[in-house]
Amino acid sequence: MIEEPAPLTWHGRWRRRLSHRSTRRAGRRLLVLVAAAAFLQGCAAGSGGTTAPGPIAVTLTEGGCEPTSLSLSPGRVTFVVQNRNSPVTSFSILSGERPIAQVNNVLGGLTRNLVVDLKLGTYTMRCRQSGVGGDGTLVVSE
């Protein structure tokens, strides 16, 4: 013969009910937090902050960098540096005469990425190799 479980006392029922309610309440709180985070992220994206531009293409030529001048917003920028059989094989970004980022050995036919966090200011883009090449200007402003 199978024994039936004893009926729950008011204490047992109350505990089960509280457990179920607290689980639902925790789920609701989590849902509200996720919704609030998504809302705030959307507000931050549309609040006029700087947004990172897409990748910036730079081509190494015998005359230097193409393009020769750029204007960007501050933040993280990816430069896609391509060499189409130029003797120039390096790309540097300088603040004054101090390099803040560079990529070397971009041999003919190769493409390399350079990721840099740019702050407000005017920089020099240098595309030179053994006296061949030239400089360009990079302006970072709001």
Residue located via tokens 């006029």: 48
- Please indicate, yes or no, if residue 97 is contained in any of the structural domains: yes
Q: Is residue 61 located within the same domain as residue 106?
A: yes
**If you count DSSP H runs as helices and E runs as strands, how many of each does the chain have, helices first?**
1, 9
Note the pLDDT of residue 20: 57
pTM for the whole structure = 0.61
Section 8-13 average pLDDT:
61
Query: 85-94: per-residue pLDDT in tens?
Result: 888 899 999 9
138 pLDDT higher than 80: yes
Q: Is residue 76 located within the same domain as residue 130?
A: yes
Note the pLDDT of residue 43: 40
Q: Is residue 93 located within the same domain as residue 130?
A: yes
Q: Is residue 29 located within the same domain as residue 81?
A: no
Q: Is residue 107 located within the same domain as residue 126?
A: yes
Query: 38-54: per-residue pLDDT in tens?
Result: 444 444 333 333 445 68
Q: Is residue 87 located within the same domain as residue 20?
A: no
Q: Is residue 67 located within the same domain as residue 121?
A: yes
Q: Is residue 25 located within the same domain as residue 66?
A: no
Q: Is residue 84 located within the same domain as residue 100?
A: yes
Q: Is residue 32 located within the same domain as residue 66?
A: no
Q: What stretch of H or E contains 26?
A: helix 10-45
- In the chain, how many domains are there? 2
Contact 141, 115 (CB under 8 A): no
- Please indicate, yes or no, if residue 3 is contained in any of the structural domains: no
Whichever domain contains 121, its CATH number is 2.60.40.420
| Gyration radius of the chain's alpha carbons | 30
Domain boundaries, position 102: 56-140
